[in-house]
Chains A and B, each alone.
Chain A
């Protein structure tokens, strides 16, 4: 190594150090919406420094190919940054897949470059990198496909599913162990990779839409951990740090999501909701449901002092957030206090509802978390549920036989009047009947969320001078 190379190396390491600090600051500034945009700048500067530093690397001889790849990636990245807000969950899943793809490909290339002269430790981390990366890649693609509704959102369940999945994972791990002991057996590597990717597909097949917030967070954690493993392989501190940050972020979100559903990770991954789907149909006929028109709903809302809106995935599907904003404006103008109650797992990814409502220009201080707002429902005149179902189901509090028993819910049934906008009486995605709809203080507003909210807005506008 000549002096010039050594000098380069120091510059690179210092740039990486600065980038690491900027990455940590970026996440720190995300703690509040007022500082969050500084976080992006910090992240961007850190990224530019790190890439710039890498280009100084003395071993690089081919800059042309790098430039083409960077340009191509940018061309693909721009439309991925411009997707509609309602498509953010599938975009996020897709980017987990891309991240994992990068890690897996680099791991595979390193395997073929380094074997058979590779230490046991290095081969172990490399196996972790490739197995975790491979399963995250296909798993995230599956999740994105389900969210985009290219693939059926219903969980697909068959007998012996968990046995098949665990066996596959076990085979992949056995191959990994064999490769650690005999790194010369290069022909086994593609099998390990193939089994890991197959496992990723099968892992997501039984998972339904309602579990997506947890699953996306878990895939996020896997993507981060596989990147950290890659950092061990390449002996790159920057990569280890970025991977650890991403991994802990995904892990924290997974914990929050699974707590909000009162389920463990293993239950989300291996205990699909599917089995209960048909059970709730009986006895539905005799229960009485009261429904109301947009005109009646508008009258009740405008007579209220305090209204809490509870949005759910149905609002996202119907793209109703802008109409909800008009409703918010109309009611606020009449002196009605309107707030939004956000359940942690409402929607298809963590924070999904907040982003949609922010897109519709609803001020973020009107968006209140479950724990903070739950005590206010008894003093609330109207709780308006738009496209949310399981997160408002009082059976979770009282009915020990319910599959969602114990899940923390929004106590909408305690409001003086509950109005639920819903397309029909069909039970929700999980197939669980919701006793909320048969309560004496509940009015069902049947229709498409966007059209119905639009109807209420029109009535509000016409009714007063």
Chain B
């Protein structure tokens, strides 16, 4: 478990990642705000790794059951999130070089 140096490391990572997120996402075109939200949603479902370990370690039936539901919920976000983001982005097309008169 986290000792105090682990904790400081974790805080460093959190603050720096938040900062990167802020700078990167600030540049996202408002055009793509909806796909941005569905993409971050899919990425956020990386929480599935914690749930997978809970299920896999099977320490007791409560943790296995809760973990199982958590894996299902997160996986549906991963699959659904990437899928719909892809569908949305495929729809964004530029007008053709020469619009017909």
Contacts and interface: CB of A to CB of B under 8 A. Distances in A.
Interface of A: 19, 23-24, 26-28, 30-33, 36-37, 39-40, 43-44, 46-47, 50-51, 53-55, 57, 59-63, 65-66, 68-70, 72-74, 76-83, 85, 88, 91-92, 95-96, 98-99, 101-103, 105-106, 108-110, 112-114, 119, 121-122, 216-217, 220, 223-224, 227-228, 230-232, 234-253, 256, 332-333, 335, 342, 344, 349-352, 354-355, 358-359, 361, 363-367, 369
Interface residues of B, number: 88
A38 to B, nearest CB: 10
A185 B95 CA distance: 63
Contacts of A239: 46-47, 49-50
A243 B27 contact: no
B21 A245 contact: yes
Nearest to A370: B30
Interface of B is mostly: helix
Nearest to B58: A62
Given A99-B47, A106-B54, A365-B94, A351 B64 contact: no
Given A77-B83, A106-B70, A253-B33, A33 B25 contact: no
Given A40-B89, A102-B51, A60 B57 contact: yes
Interface string B12-42: 0111011011101111111111111111111
A354 B30 CA distance: 9
9 contacts: A46-B43, A80-B76, A80-B83, A95-B41, A230-B50, A246-B40, A247-B18, A344-B30, A365-B95
A101 B18 contact: no
Contacts of A27: 21, 24-25, 28, 36, 39-40, 43
Contacts of A121: 2, 7
B84 A109 contact: no
B47 to A, nearest CB: 5
Interface string B81-101: 111111111111111100111
A359 B40 CA distance: 21
B92 A36 contact: yes
Contacts of A351: 30-37
B1 A119 contact: yes
Contacts of A235: 1-2, 6, 10
Given A88-B84, A364-B93, A227 B31 contact: no
A102 to B, nearest CB: 4
Given A109-B62, A335-B101, A354-B32, A77 B90 contact: no
B34 A72 contact: no
Contact of A109 (B33, B47, B66): B66
A28 B6 CA distance: 28
Given A70-B71, A81-B83, A245-B20, A54 B2 contact: no
